[in-house]
Amino acid sequence: MQCHEVDYEIIGNSMQMVEVELDPGETVIAEAGAMNYMEEGIAFETRMGDGSEAEQGLLGKLFSAGKRMLTGESLFLTHFTNRGEGKRRVAFASPFPGTIVPLDMGKLGRDVLCQKDSFLCAALGTRLDIAFNKRLGAGFFGGEGFILERISGDGMAFIHAGGTLVEKELNGETLRLDTGCLVAFTEGIEYDIEMTKGLKSMFFGGEGLFLATLRGHGKVWIQSLPFSRLADRVLAHAPSAGGADQGEGSVLGGVGRLLDGD
């Protein structure tokens, strides 16, 4: 199934959104709840699957939707179609601070494997599937588990990363990185996990016991701020269950609540 050809614009810096321009009859699929705004003439419908399962019947749709649930994504995708006469725009926003990554699947020429819940939206015709880590080490300790999300097609797809994005091109080299910082990589890259060497580095280095290793030929996308790391920092500085303040600004926080009547 050939993907629809959509134009787009990335808006913003640290809290980005992508605005997709649709010609009459064109459709973009997106995660449920990702839509930010849409112009008059855009109609949307929630469906089970990405639209590539039309020829598979009900059982095929149920099977594809079940596989999506394994990746932590919603059972349904929302399809936005331009029912008007001229060009219309619909925008989608990331669920947390970071960067939206546009993937021109036609130019890449190969599938992209990405972490669970990183998919944002794509042109109709893009196929979303799952891929299993074949190595036990990568499955147990890779941060992404055994299941990755596979994006296939020849149109535009968009994924989101936390913080700042770095794109690396590997030509046979090996790249080591924190397991949570991996966003996506093209098919053909070998993904594995290696243990940190040295007891002191393991327990006091602050980098964790395992590192992700990627080697081969293709592209790798890396995020500077995994959502899990951001969530840990927020929880560490959140008020305790008993209501006591923690961290810097606790005095101001207390004064602020006093002034607000809390």
The per-residue pLDDT for 141 is 46
In a domain, 218, yes or no: yes
In a domain, 87, yes or no: yes
In a domain, 257, yes or no: no
In a domain, 250, yes or no: no
pLDDT in tens, 61-89: 565 656 656 655 567 889 999 999 999 99
pTM above 0.85, yes or no: no
In a domain, 71, yes or no: yes
The per-residue pLDDT for 128 is 87
Domain range holding 154?
Answer: 7-234
In a domain, 255, yes or no: no
Q: What is the mean pLDDT of residues 51-68?
A: 59
pLDDT at 46 over 70: yes
pLDDT at 248 over 70: no
Q: What is the mean pLDDT of residues 157-183?
A: 91
The per-residue pLDDT for 184 is 93
Nearest CA to 225 out of 167, 166, 174, 170 is that of: 166
pLDDT in tens, 114-137: 987 789 999 999 998 887 655 544
In a domain, 220, yes or no: yes
Per the structure, the count of domains in the chain is: 1
In a domain, 241, yes or no: no
- CATH code for the domain in which residue 70 is found: 3.60.160.10
